[in-house]
Amino acid sequence: MRTSLIGRRWVPLAVAALLVSCGLAVPGLAQSSAEQEDLKKYLNSKLYVNKLRFIVSRYEASVNGCKTPNVVGRTGLTLLDKRVPMPGIGVPESTQWMDTVGIKGCGKPYQRRVVGAQHKGQTVMFPYLSGGTRTTPVVQFETMRLVLNEERKHAAAAGCKAEDLVAVATTKFVASAKAEHGTMWRESWTVKSCKGVRNIGLQFAPDINGHVAVTLE
């Protein structure tokens, strides 16, 4: 088995400091009613919706391998009570939100969840993988790197070319159990390459500092 401790290993040096508390959620910032209303107006503005479409379309093309993604509409928007760290920025300055959009043009229609926040004057968005993963954005981002690196080695050994797409198709929550420093859980991630699809088992276990150790089964 191979283990990665998110926040200590498998993390680029430039962003390592931002990932130290990746397993911890913190309370959302208190906002006045006026600020909440301004945020809601922005999230329903054409400027934001166009940005959301662009981010999701690029994600589907580069990560999911879809050449003709079509973001057809939003099916849900929720302001989150707690803030969680995001890749590259750590804990955002503003209240976070969860958007859900529909995708067509990539086979069977499906939905994509996107967590967003405003941070230092910029809108930051992070698309979630499909399925039942319970990972936070930072843990998911680093676990994807771990899983895709492993699958690229497997695909190369099976005869795939370096330029062939390797992607995570979906995720599935398997089980959870109480552990010494919180709740550990298991997931199964389905990955695809030129040789088809296969499932990779993963174990997630938090430590006393809030880091999450990820183990390939």
> Per-residue DSSP letters for 183-217?
EEEEEEEEEEETTEEEEEEEEEEE-TTS-EEEEE-
Residue 174: closest CA among 156, 187, 193, 158: 187
- Other Cβ atoms less than 10 A from the Cβ of 75: the count is 12
In a 3-state reduction of DSSP, which class is residue 65?
coil
pLDDT at residue 100, rounded to an integer: 94
Residue 13 has pLDDT above 50, yes or no: no
> Which pLDDT score is estimated for 24?
42
With 50 as the cut, is the pLDDT of residue 19 above it? no
Q: C-alpha angle 57/81/87, rounded to 5°?
A: 45
Whole-angstrom Cα distance, residue 183 to residue 181? 7
pLDDT in tens, 82-115: 888 999 899 998 889 999 999 998 888 889 999 9
pTM beyond 0.85: no
